[in-house]
Amino acid sequence: MHIFLGDDDSVINSGNELWLTTVAGSNGEEEHDQQPAANGSSRLSAVFLIINAALGAGLLNFPQAFDQAGGIMTAVIVQVVLLGWIMGALLILAHCSDQTGARTLQEVLEGVYGRPGLIACSSAVALYCFGTCVTFLIIIGDQFDRVLSSLHGLDFCHYWYMNRNFTIVLSSSVFILPLCYSRRIDFLKYVSSVGVVTVVYVVILIVYQKYMGNFVPGPIKTSPTHWTDIFLVVPVICFGYQCHVSVIPVYACLRERNLNNFTLCASVAIAVCVATYTVAGIYGYLTFGSYVTSDVLESYSGSDILVLIGIVAVAIKTYTTYPILLFCGREAVSNLWANLLHDSESDVAVTERRRRITIATVWFILTLVLALLSPDIGSVIDILGSLAAIFIFVFPGLCLMQSTLHKDPHIILNKDKFVVLAAIIFILLGTFIFGVVFVQAAIRFYKKPPITVRLCI
């Protein structure tokens, strides 16, 4: 179990190299893999990893979210307000990671709350990452359906080699599964750069279609119909900017691990995400108005070669993001496995390797099966967005409060009183957002059950 350490105990500077101290692993094993900073990832690699973890299929939902929230101005204001909390949460988690010597989000919670914190956080991370991975595979199948229906015809799925069951299994086994066994998350820095490039293409495509697509938009809102409509954009924003599960492993692999470097990397990554989401949301909404669909690419003609490339780009982006979520989920399941089953193997390296391979393989197979059986993901992003609020607000708030109480149990200093108040606001705001968004998602699901429109006839 991690022990809460002071600021000076979390890292040791030796010459020009930064070494992480040896801390007890959350799986009951001692971490002896102290690696010099020279083996870590660069700032640019860390930026790409964070961007790739944050940017995803949520990009395609932003135009409709702008419509549901009551127009561009309302959605942008809500986004700006939430961004301050999102960035603050990233810095809090990094600070607590330094104090505890943690390398994952669940280890941060273990460092400040012990075993109960580890189990609660690991369960939430595993659930969120698993659900997201399932949606990624469904999205891959949807992109294949769009491309094949355009190139072959609407009877494409009657051919076994073009059926979505075959295309999902084959493509994910070739492009995703080999990337799921890496021990360190910075192994994915190269594929992350590819994922970022594909997203840039999709954004350029949305802007291009606004001026060259000759679309007639529906009514464009300038204010929300009901004030509660502003919360409809919250799950999309939370889901879109939720990289808090991934940033601690990225921070742990940073070559020069310190809060200043992390702040720079996180700021650049979030700035890129802001520009990407905002441009896609504004131009996508202005192109279609109230006629915009939940997946903005579905509103474009599938016969346009530029659109087909954009559809393929979304699939490629999904291939590059799935392994990052699986890595975080795999570590969470590994923590639960070790703590609940009380592993006590003598060969630590063999145990870790076997557990890593087993969890990754079973995880991939289960998500693949559920993706083949699940008909629709219409309400899944809303549910995942509500859960993302827990990672963005509640967990960082809990970490901030406990770390402050640890060094000042009686809250004597005025600075610590302010910090505790901020932590309470984080927790209350996150709980409120989670509750409101979850209830709204449940009501919308009940009133309008998800309907799957298949392209094959």
Give me the pLDDT at residue 7, please.
39
Residue 41: predicted pLDDT: 81
pLDDT at residue 56, as a whole number: 73
pLDDT band at 188 (very low <50, low <70, confident <90, very high): confident
The CATH number covering residue 116 comes to 1.10.4160.10
Q: To which residue do tokens 């007639």 refer?
A: 216
DSSP 212-248: HS--------SS-SSGGGGGGSHHHHHHHH--HHHHH
- What tens digit of pLDDT does each residue of 62-74 get? 998 888 888 899 9
**Residue 121 resides in a domain:** yes
Hey, what are 343's tokens? 């592993």
Is 408 within a domain? no
Whether the pLDDT of residue 456 is over 80: the answer is: no
Query: Whole domain around residue 311: which residue ranges?
Result: 7-376
Instruction: Check pLDDT > 60 for residue 16.
Output: no
Contact criterion met (CB below 8 Å) for 253 and 187: no
Q: How far is CA 430 from CA 91, 108, 387, 427, in A?
A: 17, 18, 10, 5
pLDDT score of 298 more than 50: yes
Q: How confident is the model at residue 455 (pLDDT cuts 50, 70, 90)?
A: low
Is residue 388 situated within a structural domain?
A: no
Residue 155 lies in a domain: yes
240-250: per-residue pLDDT in tens?
888 888 899 99
Q: Say what percent of the chain tops pLDDT 70.
A: 84
Structure confidence at residue 326 (pLDDT): 92
Q: Is residue 450 part of a domain?
A: no
Between the alpha carbon of residue 383 and those of residues 172, 264, 272, 443, the distances in Å are 24, 31, 25, 11
Structural domains in the chain (count): 1
User: pLDDT-derived band of residue 5, with 50, 70 and 90 as boundaries?
Assistant: very low
Residue 398: inside a domain? no
CA gap 416, 258 in Å, rounded: 22
Single pTM value for the model: 0.79
Banded model confidence at residue 264, pLDDT cuts 50, 70, 90: very high
* Residue 219 clears pLDDT 60, i.e. is over it: yes
Residue 352 lies in a domain: yes
- Region of poorest pLDDT, from 27-31, 40-44, 55-59, 426-430: 27-31
User: Under a CB-based contact definition with an 8 Å cutoff, are residues 101 and 2 in contact?
Assistant: yes
| Residue 206 maps to a domain | yes
Cβ-Cβ contacts under 8 Å for 349 (sequence gap 6 or more): none
**Rounded to 5 degrees, what angle do the CA atoms 29, 34, 40 make?**
125
